[in-house]
Structure 1
Amino acid sequence: MVSTSLTPLPVDVARIRTEIQTLQPQLVEWRRRLHQKPELGFREHITAEFIAQQLQEWGIEYQTGIAKTGIVATINGKKPGPVLAIRADMDALPIQEENEVPYKSQHDGVMHACGHDGHVTIALGTAYYLSQHRDTFRGTVKFIFQPAEEGPGGAKPMIEAGVLKNPDVDAIIGLHLWNNLPLGTVGVRRGALMAAVELFNCTIQGRGGHGAIPQQTIDSIVVAAQIVNALQTIVARNVNPIESAVVTVGKLNAGTAHNVIAAAAKMQGTVRYFNPHFEGFFGERIEQIIRGICQAHGASYELEYYSLYPPVINDERMADLVRSVAENVVESPLGIVPQCQTMGGEDMAFFLQEVPGCYFFLGSANPEKDLAYPHHHPRFNFDETALSMGVELFVRCVEKFCS
């Protein structure tokens, strides 16, 4: 990711239309209400009920219960035209909140620590505005309120349920509030924005014994240690240095006592990459390394390897559309971060495999207000000024795409 100062840039309120500025207190109220009632993936019942209540109150057509807790709403413009989808994820994380704020999570051990409460709020604000201004665009805007982005993933089951059909979606956009960028900035780029996410679980089976008599054993810890080191050579020696990829072993468990050689060792890890041509490569190479080292030591292994999300790949024309809109909302060129990337993953990727679209970052950090903790941190919070900025960006994207 491009290194960017977290000093917030001035937000030009004049570029946010008066009606959306007026909506800001309501956006804050919605966001804080959602923040107090966080729910894990596929359990977003309170969240979905709140969304449905708002949509019904505004006279917006919607369907509930898609992929368990998902909601799809449609707003038709003044005349027939293209169909643009706006996606917002709804789920929270299994984290105990440490913020001492009046709107602190009321659900023990669950917290909106990634900004999804803000995503829902921005989508709701956009839906409200467009429902009051149907004469400003042609075609249809379809709002996809998606469960379970944090896992196991709600995008794919929503697609399988037909959310991109009836009417058929021509393009899709979405945003992520982003505390790695300061308030007043937008991170948007063509091509890969976020990485593929692949996971593996491996058990090394050796032969246990006494720590003082190692010749009678097959030390699973020694085998596992060699595997961990060897896995780092995949990126270093099998991937073009111009490419970006990472292999991480995040968990390693083995042993029970000082003087006992462990019979088994268990490890878990993740692989990240941007280029889709790596699909299948890392799983095969990891197994080759594990198999070879185990054979050399007389150990055996069991390996589970699976893909969670593909990389998030933005369509060039849709990325250009979002950038052109952003340049009219934030201070340009300082406010545009064109090479903003992260090895984090997102199941928005599945939508972008189906239709052209653009996923982008909306800077939300403000260290001056102690609002710069990273995502998934128990003190994560963001500057709520970003909410009205998000609505303005979405509305302008609709007006430009559906003109």
Structure 2
Amino acid sequence: MTSKDELKARVCAEIDRQAERIVAFGDEIMRNPETGFREHDTARRVIKQFVDMGLEYRSGLAGTGVKARMPGRSRRRTVSILGELDSLLISDHPYADPGTGAAHACGHNAMAASMLGAGLGLQPVMDELDGDVVLFGVPAEECIELDWRMALREAGDLEFMLGKAELIRLGEFDDIDMALITHTEGAGDPLATMSGTANGSLIKRVRFVGRSAHAGNEPWSAVNASKALTLAVSAVDAQRETFRDSDMVRISHLITHGGEAVSAIPGAAEMEMMIRARTVEAMEDASRKVDRALRAGSVALGAEVEINTVTGYLPLVPDEPLVDVVDANSRDMLGDEHVLRHGGHLGSSTDVGDLGRVMPVAHPFAASGNDAPMHSNGYFVRDHVLAAVNPAKFMAMSAVDLLADGASGAEEVIRDSGPKLGRDDYVALRRRLDSVRRYRGDEE
């Protein structure tokens, strides 16, 4: 029987042999960005790689997802290695699509390349593993273009705004036991960060409706929807000291419509809000307080308010038993001095948090060679060896540890990670967090 160390050495040698292909694939996606649920060309590029590997695949999952299974010698457990397909919208980014403004300012192109690289490395040793590996190109991690996605929802084309949430709802993770995915981070050391928690989020689409009138001749006949909104924002700000520091609550808003003309009292005003927090309970608490503040603006001016709350992300809590496996392999490959175990808590969000509700997940980070802030017009992957080839190796090595010797490593991770939600319970949780509420401010 071949030892795990021998299998891992073969895996890494194959990834090194394929490094030029991995780097070229990451660069190709970076230069051809597409936003979530629109990644049709990106999906075709992934499909071409799967075809070249001789893999059977399924495509069109949650619109653009692509999934290929590499069978082991037995089917005891299944480990998935994920790669994001989507980009952001940053029109002044150096690699932005000139027509759409799409740009890979979060490094998802390298995540797709690391998925491919791990698959290339594992393919020659699959007949010595006691489980399957699923390579999964997943859509729509970024929570953007909400008007368009809400229209898709109203048309019945999707229910959830994010790719992994929608894939879970559709049952596309039912045949997978655990998942690995590596995000990009900054320029240099640490070369890899193994773990970190992240906020969940709720989105609110808020519309105040009042009554318009001439701003000079007859303002007393109006109900100023814009001022109702302004008061509501002030009331939200007044709530901030009521949030526990440990809950890491973040509330941001953007006024999307404030009126038609300065000469008329606005009869309608709209804004979009995002509430982030460390736990589901803290998300719900903050949501209730924000709704009260929105109602206060409505009552003060006598306007109506409609509050449409849509679940964004669930909080991320990686499973330490699975992180242990990836951590050990990253240290063997990169050295202890180049690996950070825990990067702390992030105020940002990822739909890997959703996936972690239904299965063990590990979500390490790898250096990208770029120290610009992520999601900025200066951030892109400068070094695909750091961002794609290195994580391809430590994720593939981890798959060996999980699936060799009767998949005993995977069994231990599942046992030690504790209970998870079933698909139906997960879907019910997201639906419970969604709501549409309407209030009339002039009611006694």
Common fold by TM > 0.5 = yes
SS at match of 1:353: coil
- Structure 1 residues 74 and 85 mapped into 2: Cα distance closer, same or farther (>3 Å)? same
Measured against aligned partners, the alpha-carbon deviations of 1:269-304 in whole angstroms (never above 9, x if no partner) come to 110011122343333222222213321332222221
Amino acid at match of 2:141: E
Deviates more, 1:374-383 or 1:115-124: 374-383
SS at match of 2:321: helix
Structure-2 residue corresponding to 1:92? 87
2:65 to 55, 70, 73: 70
Structure-1 residue corresponding to 2:391? 390
- Structure 1 residues 92 and 330 mapped into 2: Cα distance closer, same or farther (>3 Å)? same
1:187 to 187, 193, 198: 193
- Structure 1 residues 262 and 68 mapped into 2: Cα distance closer, same or farther (>3 Å)? closer
2:45 to 43, 50, 53: 50
Give the Cα–Cα distance (whole angstroms) in 1 for the partners of residues 46 and 257 of structure 2.
43
Matches within 5 A, 1:228-267: 228-237=233-242, 239-251=243-255, 253-258=257-262, 260-267=264-271
SS at match of 1:155: helix
Give the Cα–Cα distance (whole angstroms) in 2 for the partners of residues 93 and 252 of structure 1.
19
SS at match of 1:182: coil
Measured against aligned partners, the alpha-carbon deviations of 1:182-223 in whole angstroms (never above 9, x if no partner) come to 354322336xx2221211122223344425875554433333
Structure-1 residue corresponding to 2:168? 159
Matched, 1:32 2:15: no
SS at match of 2:363: strand
Deviation, structure 1 residue 147: 1.6
Deviates more, 1:269-278 or 1:219-228: 219-228
SS at match of 1:338: strand
Deviation, structure 1 residue 161: 3.4
Deviation, structure 1 residue 377: 2.7
Matches within 5 A, 1:305-344: 305-333=309-337, 335-344=339-348
Where structure 1 has 5 or more consecutive residues not aligned to the other structure, the ranges are 1-13
SS at match of 1:345: coil
Deviation, structure 1 residue 135: 4.8
Structure-1 residue corresponding to 2:285? 281
Structure-2 residue corresponding to 1:4? none
Which is richer in helix? 2
Matched, 1:178 2:179: no
Note the aligned Cα RMSD (angstroms): 2.7
Give the Cα–Cα distance (whole angstroms) in 1 for the partners of residues 98 and 270 of structure 2.
36
Structure with greater contact order relative to length (CA < 8 Å, sep ≥ 6): 1
Measured against aligned partners, the alpha-carbon deviations of 1:114-152 in whole angstroms (never above 9, x if no partner) come to 222111111111111111222553311111111222243
Structure-2 residue corresponding to 1:197? 201
Structure-1 residue corresponding to 2:137? 145
Give the Cα–Cα distance (whole angstroms) in 1 for the partners of residues 275 and 211 of structure 2.
29
Structure-1 residue corresponding to 2:122? 130
Amino acid at match of 1:55: F
Deviation, structure 1 residue 80: 4.4
Give the Cα–Cα distance (whole angstroms) in 2 for the partners of residues 106 and 258 of structure 1.
34
- Equivalent residue pairs, number: 375
Instruction: Compute the TM-score of the two structures, normalised by the length of structure 2.
Output: 0.76
Amino acid at match of 1:189: S
- Structure 1 residues 80 and 218 mapped into 2: Cα distance closer, same or farther (>3 Å)? closer
Structure-2 residue corresponding to 1:220? 225
Deviation, structure 1 residue 79: 4.3
Identical positions, percent: 21
- Structure 1 residues 283 and 217 mapped into 2: Cα distance closer, same or farther (>3 Å)? same
Matched, 1:290 2:294: yes
Give the Cα–Cα distance (whole angstroms) in 2 for the partners of residues 350 and 71 of structure 1.
19
Matched, 1:61 2:65: no
Give the Cα–Cα distance (whole angstroms) in 2 for the partners of residues 20 and 59 of structure 1.
17
SS at match of 2:247: coil
Give the Cα–Cα distance (whole angstroms) in 2 for the partners of residues 226 and 377 of structure 1.
31
